Amino acid sequence: MNRRILRHSFSLLNIDYVSLDERWNYQNVLSPYYRLYYIDQGSGTITNGKQSWLLEPGHLYLVPGFTLCNLHCATSLGQYFIHFFEDAVNSISLFHNHRTVFKTEATAMDITGFKRLLQINPHRKINRSDNPLVYEKNIYYQEYEALNNQQDYALFMETQGILLQLVARFTALQQDKQNIAGNIPSKIVDLLGFINLNLNQALTVKKLADMTNYHPDYLSRLFMKLTGERPLSYLHTKRIERAQYLLVTTQMSLTEIAEATGFDNLPHFSRVFKNKTSLPPARYREQQFGS
């Protein structure tokens, strides 16, 4: 008998209910964790330069980690929010190929889940500020992880169950987006999975092409059509996303992170990191520590 095992788990950071106003206006937010919203009154927007999503009452919104977005409220907005890390070290991120905002109508069970999660995690409010530059700090991530470790195991299990239940509401939407984008050849789906699970390996376009029996030029054009990036650029994007996660959640040295994410040396890692995030990795980590 084959058992199907869950390959994803989540680490809760924050949960709260907030009443926002025009001061909630932040540009180029790129967080290493997920944001999950339930709106009960007012309105706001999330944009990414290409698309815009209206935050409206009665709806849920999921912003996967490493999704660049702008957050704005013109007048007032009542918002339940949850921030959490995804643990997919030995698997592929649930939304690895769809860094976008997902929206769906909330059910009574969803709303109950938000309220119950807030009830059993009373010390997860940010309180410091609603500005990501203030609360996105490594010291706070460590503080919340300590709370996870100290939590009564029954409540920890319940927290995980509610998070899984809420995230599950968006997995079908992710699959729908993939279908709308076109039927991705199985070879490419397998290749995306291979890349995400082997970021620390020496991967070249030729090696990837050999795995699919495609000519490198054809693979490059097909990759661009399906993902919006050339294979090497996609590989670098995923490596830097992984590096960002390691920078804010571990004490690994920059050299160790460069090696763990498949870069030949630290200068190469630093160049690609700055190209993808506009900050060198050392400065990125300093910013997370509040320096």
176 vs 102: CA distance, rounded Å: 11
Residue 288: pLDDT band (50, 70, 90) is low
Angle subtended at Cα 61 by Cα 59 and Cα 66, rounded to the nearest 5 degrees: 175
As beta bridge partners, residue 250 has: none
At 11, give phi and psi (nearest 5°).
Answer: -110, 115
Q: Are residues 53 and 115 in the same domain?
A: yes
> What confidence tens digit (pLDDT) does each residue in 244-280 have?
878 877 788 999 999 999 998 999 999 999 998 888 9
Within a domain: 4: no
Confidence of residue 291 (pLDDT cuts 50, 70, 90): very low
**pLDDT tens track for 147-159:** 888 889 999 999 9
Report the domain count for the chain: 2
Same domain for 116 and 13, yes or no, is yes
- Same domain for 174 and 192, yes or no, is no
DSSP code per residue over 52-72: EEEE-TTEEEEE-TT--EEEE
Q: What token pair was written down for 221?
A: 């054009």
Residue 183 is given by DSSP the state -
Q: CA angle 193-194-199, nearest 5°?
A: 105
- Cα dist. 218→187, 191, 211 in Å? 13, 14, 13
In a domain, residue 1? The reply is no
**pLDDT confidence of residue 179:** 43
Let me know if residue 249 belongs to a domain.
yes
Q: Give the tokens for residue 75.
A: 């007048």
* 239 in Cβ contact with 263 (< 8 Å): yes
In this structure, are 255 and 119 located in the same domain? no
Look up the domain containing 63 and give its range.
Answer: 9-180
CATH of the domain at 136: 2.60.120.10
Domain assignment present for residue 227? The answer is yes
Q: What is the mean pLDDT of residues 16-37?
A: 90
- Domain end, chosen from 133, 158, 180, is at 180
